[in-house]
A and B are shown apart, each in its own frame.
Chain A
Amino acid sequence: MKALEGLIVVLAMSVPFIAIKSADMTTYIYWSLVSAVYLAYIAVSRW
């Protein structure tokens, strides 16, 4: 289960390498949002 979670996190963080190629702040905002959502998940659901 945790391995799956790790895989999902790594894949989600890798999306800009595959799917985002725009010269604006999309990549920046995407990475920030994924990290924030994962932090919120850890804070609310993990313990």
Chain B
Amino acid sequence: MLMLIALLVYALIGTAIAILAKKRVSSDEEYFVAGRNVGGIVAALTYAATTYSAFMMVGLVGLTYIYGVGALGFELYYLVGTLLLLSYYAPKIWKLGKERGFVTPGDLIADRYGKNAARILALLVSIALIPYTSIQFVGISFLLGNSMSFEAGVILSAVITALWALLGGFRSVAWTDAVFGIFMLSMALAAVISAFSMNPAPGDFSRLGELLYVPNSFWTPVTFISYTLPWFFFALTNPQVVQRIFVPKDEKSLRRMVVLFGLFGLIYTILVTLFGLQLRLLSEAGEFPNVTNRDLVTPTFLGLIPEWLGVLIALSIFAAAITTANSIVLTLSSMFTRDLLKSRSVLAGRLFVAAITAAVAVFAIQKPSYIVDLAVMSSTILLCQLPLILGVIHFKAGGSLSAGLTLLAGFSTAIALYYTKLTLGIPVSVWVLIVSFAVFFVAAILEKRFKT
């Protein structure tokens, strides 16, 4: 009952924010990138809330609990990689976007490689991200299992996701992200304090043994690279965050976005992994069940703490999933509208928001087995764009044919190797990068000769 009340309050607050934002929607540029007029703090919080999904308080906590400190290294590798890439590429991409009116990541690609490359990209991105978004709905619906049926949880998630994006577009998504991003961080802190207070010896980490160093029996160098590499390039390959580079109102806001996002990410990552280690210490002390399924570590904890606190932390996980889902849905809608249809209609954008959310919900309810595979592979699949994005900044070679072949070859490599497992002990993500870059450069040479 308390969870339902909390969800109602959450939905009302978010909807009120979305309605406030709605007043300012007047064009597709306004709808999809808030007219490129977002301040640094809101831009940082929407970047953070979009990036950090329910995975943090469920998946990363469980990963730390079961396999130890390597989970912190994996997540911080992502963070420093993002800071490196954003601090170097974001000013260039932001400037290009402002000068040439880019609204979608596909605009960046189309400007250099032609419209067909942007169309292929929109399709590949949707194949990677619709299942990934479905997993967000599946995860939080399981979390709400004591309060409502699985199907009701998915439908509630879908309605909130679509409603806020439909009402005010990017601005309402960004404003709700900002408010609930702060809530996510606060509840992670509350979870850590709660776990510490339950532990009679919270500082006695030495009993965790090999969980405190790398490599250990799980975090071998190959496993670590497999986890880390796709996320290292996340800032350039995931369209929902690339699009956020276009939105700061000036360079000062862009800088503030990058730095404050880094601060948010560092604090959130430290809190979440400290929480996982503390729960493991509790297990070692016999104060917490020995959980073997990593996705059940946080739900088990929520069942042992005061109900009001468990509800608030569960709500923060729900909010983390929604802030990620509605950002992805809005970005996919912009790519379908502008890159596939070549339309500038806000109505078309809104229709795509509704249709994509419905598709995500249908996938989530049916739970076909390949959804999990595609969701796990999403960041690896998206790596196939990297040569194209770096090419915009660094390379003169490469045109429409190179871009199309690169995307298709990288995507096919990811799918084929994931299912056949013929990787020769090398992570799939490494293969995708090798094949994508090789195809890009070979095709670029051939394309140049063919033209001359």
Contact = CB atoms under 8 A, between A and B. Distances in A.
Interface of A: 2, 5-6, 9, 13, 16-17, 20-28, 31-32, 34-36, 38-39, 42-43, 46-47
Contacts of B258: 42
A31 to B, nearest CB: 5
Contacts of B73: 13, 16, 27, 31
A20 B76 CA distance: 17
B205 A25 contact: yes
A13 B262 contact: no
Nearest to A39: B262
List 5 tightest A-B contacts by C-beta distance, closest first: A43-B259, A39-B262, A46-B87, A35-B76, A47-B255
A39 B270 contact: no
A40 to B, nearest CB: 9
Interface of B: 69, 72-73, 76-77, 79-81, 83-84, 87-88, 91, 205-206, 208-210, 212-215, 221, 224, 251, 255, 258-259, 262-263, 266, 270, 273, 277
Given A39-B262, A47-B91, 17 more contacts: A9-B80, A17-B221, A17-B224, A23-B209, A24-B206, A25-B205, A25-B212, A26-B212, A26-B213, A27-B212, A31-B72, A31-B73, A32-B270, A35-B79, A35-B266, A36-B266, A46-B87
A39 B76 contact: no
A38 B83 contact: yes
Given A9-B84, A39-B263, A42-B87, A31 B76 contact: yes
Nearest to B64: A28
A40 B354 CA distance: 41
B213 A16 contact: yes
Given A23-B210, A23-B212, A23-B213, A32 B72 contact: yes
10 contacts: A6-B84, A21-B213, A25-B205, A26-B212, A27-B212, A32-B72, A35-B80, A35-B266, A39-B262, A42-B258
Contacts of B209: 23
